[in-house]
């Protein structure tokens, strides 16, 4: 049976605008809340702040109306809300630490947010079709790997807390791995869409699972070695996990072979086992993970313990913004911003935040389902999954699901490179979702344009 489609999807841009205004309203209420709770007065910055936020996000919204009218309507409001709440928390911590002048983090974060939104809008304008990115498959690989390796270079590389994942240029500290993440996903997508047919060939069967041919194992081994290298040389457990996990997931999606997942898991387990045997930095993390309150762990670091105490103090409903003590935790505005929110907004607030992330990932995966080309599918899956995995690594790290690793929570955490990367990531996802929801050219127009005997038919 076949039906002719005459359904025309709605753009949903108005929904986006309403949600965007709601998101801004929530952020402003939170900002007001902090001001009242900590200073007892109406914060005079509120108006300036509100207009800034409104200008930026509505500006982005207009760009979407102009260049990506069918883009997903939820992504921008969610990203705005998360970014805004992160700003509120950073502002709140500025107040708690009594920072002034150039020591203030919130204005810097605001500046980075503005820059990131502008770049994201630039991506929407410049990238008319995500398939353009396929042309840069190997360029993306080269630049991505280069960025991953940058912190290892002398002079500009910086080691902070045992992780060599920073580069310093003048006063700026950047985490190039955040940007490398996107570039490598572009590379994986481009590479896998080319090679998926070969990689999905079955060699021998073992225990009912079709194993790939030995000669096709090359790429996964290289990816594995690269992620092990990241772990060994940079001590960055999180990025290593993220990098390898995204690769395996994309390999699975490209080939539809579960055996890749099995192989990936085995390689991952072997890798982490040996890392724990050999690398001292990893051993410490594992010790802190297993018993953060034990005397042995506390002798090394009470970082995780303090974060957990903050979250526990928050309980179900939290202390309320500005009324807890997140400043007692180390890095409360970057790696430990989730405990900061947990303490002040409670479990309820944390659930809300996590659900926002789930929603964003889900919209990304939906775009992957809807888009018609393989590259777009892989790209959207890779970006969404990397986003999800990063949330898992960060939140799982501070709540003892996995050992703690130094990573930033997308949009919430303080950090320019993280904001830049995640806004760009959302911009690409918006572009793909626009492609996936955009209706095909009108059948009648097409029919009229082409020879009279043809007709575009969609088979159900």
From the list 33-41, 142-150, 353-361, 441-449, the region that binds other proteins by CB under 8 A is 353-361
Query: What are the tokens at 379?
Result: 């790209």
- Confirm or reject binding of residue 346 to other proteins (CB under 8 A): yes
- Confirm or reject binding of residue 400 to other proteins (CB under 8 A): yes
Exposed / middle / buried, residue 203 (Cβ in 10 Å: 0-12, 13-18, 19+): middle
Handedness of CA 405, 113, 186, 150 (dihedral sign): negative
20 or 367: whose CB is closer to other proteins? 367
Under DSSP, the state recorded for 60 is H
Query: What are the tokens at 361?
Result: 């990932």
**Do 403 and 98 contact (CB within 8 A), yes or no?**
no
- Confirm or reject binding of residue 378 to other proteins (CB under 8 A): yes
**Do 325 and 313 contact (CB within 8 A), yes or no?**
yes
Q: Residue from 17, 365, 409, 421 that binds other proteins (CB under 8 A)? A: 365
Q: Residue from 252, 262, 279, 301 that binds other proteins (CB under 8 A)? A: 252
- Confirm or reject binding of residue 264 to other proteins (CB under 8 A): no
Q: Residue from 149, 186, 231, 253 that binds other proteins (CB under 8 A)? A: 253
From the list 73-81, 178-186, 393-401, 411-419, the region that binds other proteins by CB under 8 A is 393-401
109 or 240: whose CB is closer to other proteins? 240
- Confirm or reject binding of residue 300 to other proteins (CB under 8 A): no
Min CB(349)–other proteins separation in Å: 10
Closest CA to 365 of 341, 387, 334, 397: 387
- Confirm or reject binding of residue 389 to other proteins (CB under 8 A): yes
- Confirm or reject binding of residue 369 to other proteins (CB under 8 A): yes
SS3 84: helix
- Confirm or reject binding of residue 436 to other proteins (CB under 8 A): no
Which H helix or E strand runs over 132?
A: none
Number of neighbouring beta carbons within 10 Å of residue 446: 13
40 or 256: whose CB is closer to other proteins? 256
- Confirm or reject binding of residue 357 to other proteins (CB under 8 A): yes
From the list 5-13, 119-127, 156-164, 246-254, the region that binds other proteins by CB under 8 A is 246-254
- Confirm or reject binding of residue 304 to other proteins (CB under 8 A): no
Residue 426 CA, chain-centre distance (Å), reads 8
- Confirm or reject binding of residue 61 to other proteins (CB under 8 A): no
Number of neighbouring beta carbons within 10 Å of residue 6: 9
Location of structure tokens 């949903």: 12
Min CB(393)–other proteins separation in Å: 10
Question: 307-336: which residues touch other proteins (CB under 8 A)?
Answer: 308-317, 324-325, 328
349 or 406: whose CB is closer to other proteins? 349
Exposed / middle / buried, residue 283 (Cβ in 10 Å: 0-12, 13-18, 19+): middle
Min CB(316)–other proteins separation in Å: 6
Closest CA to 357 of 74, 65, 10: 74
Handedness of CA 42, 43, 45, 50 (dihedral sign): negative
SS3 166: strand
**Do 414 and 90 contact (CB within 8 A), yes or no?**
yes
Site residues, other proteins (CB under 8 A): 249, 252-254, 256, 293, 308-317, 324-325, 328, 342, 346-347, 350-351, 354, 357-358, 361-362, 365, 368-369, 374, 377-378, 381, 384-385, 388-389, 391-392, 395-396, 399-401
């Amino acid at each position: 049976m076949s039906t002719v489609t005459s359904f025309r999807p709605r753009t949903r841009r108005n929904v986006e605008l309403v949600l965007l205004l709601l998101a801004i309203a929530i952020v402003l209420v939170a900002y007001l809340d902090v001001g009242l709770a900590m200073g007892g007065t109406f914060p005079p910055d509120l108006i300036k702040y509100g207009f800034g936020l409104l200008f930026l996000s509505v500006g982005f919204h207009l760009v979407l109306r102009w260049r990506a009218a069918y883009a997903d309507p939820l992504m921008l409001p969610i990203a705005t809300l998360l970014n805004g709440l992160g700003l509120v928390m950073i502002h709140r911590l500025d107040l708690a630490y009594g920072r002034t002048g150039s020591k203030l983090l919130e204005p810097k974060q605001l500046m980075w947010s503005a820059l990131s939104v502008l770049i994201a809008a630039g991506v929407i304008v410049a990238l008319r079709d995500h398939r353009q990115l396929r042309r840069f498959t190997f360029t993306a690989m080269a630049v991505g790997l280069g960025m991953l390796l940058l912190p290892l270079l002398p002079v500009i590389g910086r080691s902070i807390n045992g992780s060599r994942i920073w580069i310093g240029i003048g006063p700026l500290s950047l985490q190039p791995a955040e940007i490398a993440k996107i570039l490598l996903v572009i590379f994986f997508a481009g590479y896998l869409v080319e090679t998926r047919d070969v990689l999905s060939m079955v060699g021998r069967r073992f225990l009912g699972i079709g194993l790939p041919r030995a000669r096709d194992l090359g790429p996964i081994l290289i990816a594995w070695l690269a992620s092990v290298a990241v772990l060994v040389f940079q001590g960055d457990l999180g990025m290593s996990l993220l990098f390898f996990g995204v690769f395996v997931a994309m390999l699975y999606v490209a080939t539809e072979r579960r055996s890749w997942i099995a192989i990936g898991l085995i390689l991952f387990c072997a890798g982490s086992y040996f890392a724990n045997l050999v690398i001292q930095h990893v051993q410490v993390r594992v010790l802190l993970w297993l018993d953060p309150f034990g005397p042995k762990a506390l002798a090394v670091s009470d970082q995780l313990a303090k974060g957990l105490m903050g979250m526990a103090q928050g309980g179900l409903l939290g202390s309320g913004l500005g009324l807890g003590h997140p400043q007692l935790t180390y890095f409360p505005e970057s790696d430990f911003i989730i405990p900061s929110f947990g303490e002040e907004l409670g479990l309820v607030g944390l659930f809300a935040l996590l659900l926002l992330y789930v929603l964003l990932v889900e919209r990304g995966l939906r775009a992957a389902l809807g888009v018609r080309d393989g590259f777009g599918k892989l790209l959207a899956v890779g970006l969404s999954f990397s986003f999800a995995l990063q949330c898992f690594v960060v939140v799982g790290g501070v709540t003892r699901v996995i050992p703690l690793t130094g990573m930033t929570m997308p949009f919430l955490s303080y950090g320019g490179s993280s904001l830049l990367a995640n806004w760009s990531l959302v911009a690409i996802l918006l572009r793909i979702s626009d492609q996936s929801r955009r209706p095909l050219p009108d059948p009648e127009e097409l029919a009229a344009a082409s020879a009279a005997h043809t007709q575009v038919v969609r088979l159900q």
